[in-house]
Structure 1
Amino acid sequence: MGILKFLATACLATLIPSASALLAFPGAEGFGRNAVGGRTGSVYHVTNLDDSGAGSFRDAVSKSNRIVVFDVGGTIKISSRIAVSKNIYIAGQTAPGNGITVYGNGMSFSNANDAIVRYIRFRMGKGGDKGKDGITIAEGSTMIFDHVSAAWGRDETFSINGAVHNVTIQNTIIGQGLETHSCGGLMQSDYGISLFRNLYIDNKTRNPKVKGMNDFQNNVIYNWGGGGAYIAGDSDGQSYANIVKNYFISGPSSSVSAFTRGNANFHGYISENYYDSNKDGTLNGSPLCTEASCYGGLDIQKSRFDYPGPGKVLSAPDALAYVLKNVGANFPARDDVDKGLVAEVQSYGKKGELISDENASSAKSLESGMTVTAATDSDGDGIPNAWEEAHGLNSHDASDAMKISSSGYVNIEVYLNSLVPSS
């Protein structure tokens, strides 16, 4: 045990930025908490819902060092995959109306170093390429995804697998991976993935499948299928994971236990995970036993791995309440798809389905119209006039958006942070 912890800690010492480094945003946690985004670059306005061309989302993320703001809300239908460049901040919280959905052939964040992604929906769908992930990361470093809604992957829905360093996924929905694969996703990296307060829902398997260095805390997993919920490695590779105060709830499709395929190579610290397996429509789960048999046979550790965890760890029941209220792209409001998924969880075993076509889903509605209601921004710097004037900035000087404030963030980041809660 001492050797295992030493190895994990020694690896961390070379990978984790200084705790004094500026957070990506207030409330950023875990391995990816110090992502820089477009702080040293420029502001790009998404002005239409087109698949490509000037003012499109695809064009916005095609070049590095940009803070991407949205002057429109609605659904962007894409015909081919979008690859995101380095040092991009996707500020979905700026979209008017009910926010932004990117619908179609999927997203690649491979080598999108220092990405910050907040309050946006990525949904692939049956029209996407067979065998492709909804969101994929195969390499790169220091990324954070916060309040993202990911659904309808053809292979995995949100997958990290490769030489990927320091990534956080927090407050995010990963759901309804399409049959026949129907996977939440791989979370496989030897260099640090944090998963905090997420909802995995209606995926047959891989909710998630974990290998390597992983911190899995305060998540909710609902209605997995016969492939299983949390899959502990199932390989010869060594894994070191914290599995702390998560809530597993069986749904109509669940036919196997919450934890499967652990072995002696998967070293897990476990604490107060809850399991409600009876599908009776009432939340009445209880703590899992602390024996290896309750965790698919993984190698249970006595001490928590020293990873950069959440500032506050909730009890599993409190985590469930938090997730149901806050998870996904919920600013300014959840859309019908996410509302439907949350309602499934609240049925506590009675509702939920594995789907092969997003149009067959009971929560299939997609927002489609374009809403142009962005507040007046005379200098086009991404900060509305009213906010600039209230905070001592010049609404006719575009250069002040990218000036460093006393907080260490550039002024537009201060504005973006003010739009949404800090946790």
Structure 2
Amino acid sequence: MKKTLSLKGIGLGFLIVILVLLVVYQKNLTRLYTAVTLYDKDKIANNFLTMYESFNATVIPASSQPLPFPVDPQPLPELFDYEKQPMTLTTFLEDTQTTGLLVLKDGNIVYENYWFGHARDKQHISFSMAKSFVSALMGIAIEEGFVTSIEEAVTDYVPELVGSGYEGVRIKDVLQMSSGVGFNEDYGDFNSDINRFSRATAFGTSLDDFSASLVREREPGTYHHYVSIDTQVLGMVLTRATGQSLSHYLSEKIWQPLGMEYKAFWLADDDGMELALGGLNVSLRDYAKLGWLYLNQGTWTDNLNHTQQIVPKQWVIDSTRADAPHLVAGENNPASSSSFGYGYQWWLPLGAEDEFAAQGIYDQYIYIDPDQKLVIVKNSANYRYTDKSLNWKAKHYAMFRAISEHFSNKQ
């Protein structure tokens, strides 16, 4: 009898230990499960709308004086041409599992629609569109004197990076994705650096420590190679220079003055450092406001018809142009890993006249056509995104340009 009771006691004790471990590690298990199934066909759309529920996230409150865009609904074009062949626009939206699409023309919302559970008041993961928000914050920080110059080294502000691939690298080279740091950004490769980083994020481990682990591959400022951790380093510079979290600085300098309609969430590690490279969760309408701000070279008109310069005009100009050969768009640029050009965390599309864009994986876009006074925001959950044979990016820009031309011709 004593032996039986002892065994029962051990069994009960083991069960209690298991239950305690489940409670303690439940959050990590939830994050890990979300990360592992993030891009699954049957889960991807909902995952992209609920990332902030599974991971650590800071909250950026909606503006105390929200400023909605006027609405003037109009139809989209039925077709657009890709490589001289007509494509049906609605079919392409379905093929890319579009969750939200908004077109802003002359400051009016002329088209807005949602699918797969997305809605006007829901926040969708930005992925790398967050990089353009971080760039705006850097421009403001320089204007306010927190950062002296982009010619300074990132290690002047973040000494923890001394000894890493970022030691001595200029802020400018990091802004232009030309840091020289080695990084594999292939989301289709399970063992790529970006996927290792994603798994580290799932466990809430230090993003700063991961950034400091990378090594030099090329001479900085000579080759354009997209390294998402470059933006994480910019986030580190900003938090050290301003003494504020990225979320607080974004709230004060952009969310409040732009009259953002809805709160946002910024994914963060267990130390509270935001995922600067792609962790914002924002409504479609509020993404459009960053586009409209940059279309107007950083100026904004509020509820009282007062216009103020939110982001320095020269910063917007410099951010949206290529100022060195390795940053110029071209199919065969030997000093770039992309056919697209690059500014300060903004893409310069191939064949562009004045267009520029923020882009995120799985087909997230803020497309800006300044001379047409047009902004397009697209959220997607394209589970076939990694199939490069389908030329998703080129097709998107063909569609964006057709939409821009369509609304231009209606004037």
- For this structure pair, what is the TM-score category when the shorter chain's length is used for normalisation? under 0.3
| Structure 1 or 2: more helix by fraction | 2
TM-score with structure 1 setting the length: 0.24
| Structure 1 or 2: more strand by fraction | 1
Greater RCO, CA 8 A, separation 6+: 2
